[in-house]
Structure 1
Amino acid sequence: MTSTIGNKPTGNSPVDSILSYWKKHSKDILPPLIGILSFLAIWQLLSSTGITRLPGPLSVWTNERTRILLMYPFYDRGGLDKGLFWQTLASLMRVAQGYSLAAIVGISTGILVGTNPVIDKALDPIFQFLRMVAPLAWVPIALVALQQNQPAAIFVIFITCVWPILINTKEGVKQIPEDYNNVARVLQLTRKEYYINILFPSALPYIFTGLRIAIGLAWLAIIAAEIVMSGIVGIGFFIWDAYQQNYISEIILAVIYIGGVGLLLDRSVAWLQQAIIPGQK
């Protein structure tokens, strides 16, 4: 006589995986979750009691116009009437252009002045002076010089985020241990070999520090620039237009988009740094 014994299925079920993940990370998830929910609850309470005229967070869903924006971010009716996905994408495209240009100029110039003390002394006062100018102060200058909103916005991003990249790159180059330079001289490394084997590996943590600071500044700068520059598709102008029409709930939703995208940009540069320089935080 034979009998069959049912075998238990091997492998973890999705529920088991979720429970296992929760047990491991609950201490890291609960505090920020409680903090965020508490903040939203207090905000909603202050709004409901009339202490502040600012709509509560629930207005993002209860307001019909904002609910449509939330549920249909990809709509495009032409002109400036676009969903928040396209508004955000337009701003990100400007950021990508200005930030990329700033990275190229900042890293190359930082290496130049970092390896040449005389040039560093000559240009450092100019760099320190220009980096103190607020991003919005560059907007009218850019508009007068370039005559168009799009290149003016890209220039504002560039001039805002080039300085942290340049200065951090310069400091990274200057912090290369003298022993490394002595070894390069003994081995008679070519300039290309010196850059690849000594300069870039030593300066990369500083360069990425500048890049990470700059991506946040670039995102802040484009929002400010688009608020001032009228008639262009972008999340900044969307906020200003909503304010002009007193659609406060739309402003709140746009701010959520801005914060979320800014966080993703920062984490993306941090991930790239970790991928290129393992072990660096």
Structure 2
Amino acid sequence: MKSTPKPRNAGILGVVLLAAFIGLWQLAAGAGWLSNLAPTPARTGNRAIELLSDPFYRDGPASQGIFWHLLASLRRVLIGFLIATVIAVPLGFVLGRSTTLRWAVDPMVQILRPVSPLAWLPLGLALLSDAERTAIFVIVLSALWPTLVNTIDAVRTIHPTYLELTATLGTPWWSKVAYVMLPSALPGIVTGLRLSLSTSWLVIIAAEMLVGGEGIGFFVWNMWNRLDIDAIVVSIVIIGLTGLILDHLIAALQKVVRYD
């Protein structure tokens, strides 16, 4: 299925809307409609130049450039996301193929899945006694469920003809998984991975505000303690752009494996 091409004037419209937003922002700030702490476009732009002009400096654990905070967050997300993927995909295959086991496990999945990942923070700190490992623990729990649920659904909906054909030919189980089940379920799995990665990026920001140390979430909280609201706005833009890039990376993979 071919995707609908984007209109040529979409980029122009986007620029116009962005300019209108900045204009309204400046108007609201200049007219006194916002509090005294509210940032302005000019101050935010100047603060962005300051932060991005030297993002690699390091004067100690408590004083370092925004690049290192972003890198720390990405590292935690990547580690937690990979651990969750290694757990969720094989488990999803097992549960997707076994109705009895799936029904037995489903109540536990349905109970744990809606729990906010941040609710696990105190337990993680109690069990692991380490802020870094606790942050990764929270990311694992954030990324686990979307991939697991989508993998189960993808395996369940594999066309029965494919499986019947492998049974007729006496195909070994490992060959059936590698050459039939995995390619058939891959689009659904990648959809789960996309949801898991975006959820992980959302959660790590909030988790880092609580566990401290380093990370873009910790940077935002630290700037709030300093009442540097302009730096917070810059951080929000960086967080959003990073999330957009991560989502597009998985979306590109999704386009490769999708087929009709």
Question: Matches of 1:67 and 1:197 in 2, distance apart?
Answer: 51
Unaligned runs of 5+ in 2: 1-5
How many Å separate the matches in 2 of 1:263 and 1:248?
Answer: 23
Q: Give the AA of the match of 1:250.
A: A
Aligned-residue Cα RMSD (Å) equals 1.6
- Which residue of structure 2 lines up, in the alignment, with residue 174 of structure 1? 156
Please report the TM-score for the alignment, with normalisation by the length of structure 2.
Answer: 0.93
Match of 1:84? 66
Q: Deviations over 1:188-237 (max 9, x none)?
A: 1111111122111111111011000011100011101000112x110001
SS of 2:41's partner is: coil
Matched, 1:239 2:220: yes
Residue 44 of structure 2: aligned partner: 60
Of 12, 30, 48, the match for 2:30 = 48
Deviation, 1:61, is 2.7
Q: Which moved more, 1:266-275 or 1:240-249?
A: 266-275
Selected match of 1:259 from 216, 232, 240: 240
Offset of residue 49 of structure 1: 1.3
Q: Tell me, in whole angstroms, the C-alpha distance in 2 between the residues paired with 1:274 and 1:260.
A: 21
CA distance in structure 2 between the aligned counterparts of 1:26 and 1:75, rounded to whole angstroms: 41
Offset from partner CA, 1:152-201 (integer Å, 9 cap, x none) = 00000000110000000000000011111211111111111111221111
**Whole-angstrom distance in 2 between the partners of 1:180 and 1:34:** 51
Structure 2 counterpart of 1:205, from 187, 206, 214: 187
User: After alignment, is 24-33 or 134-143 more displaced?
Assistant: 24-33
SS in 2 for 1:80: coil
Q: 1:113 aligns with which of 90, 95, 100?
A: 95
Amino acid at match of 1:35: L
Q: Is the Cα contact below 8 Å between 2:187 and 2:258 reproduced in 1? A: no
Q: Could you tell me how far apart the structure 1 residues matched to 2:12 and 2:31 are?
A: 28
Name the SS for the 1:152 alignment partner: helix
Alignment of 1:84-233 (within 5 A): 84-230=66-212, 232-233=213-214
Q: What amino acid is the match of 1:268?
A: L
TM-score by length of 1: 0.86
Q: In the alignment, is residue 38 of structure 1 matched against residue 20 of structure 2?
A: yes
**Equivalents in 2 of 1:28, 1:187: separation in Å?**
52
Question: Partners of 1:234 and 1:207 in 2: how far apart?
Answer: 29
Unpaired runs of at least 5, structure 1: 1-23
Task: Return the letter of the residue paired with 1:57.
Answer: P
Inter-partner Cα distance in structure 1 for 2:45 and 2:216: 19
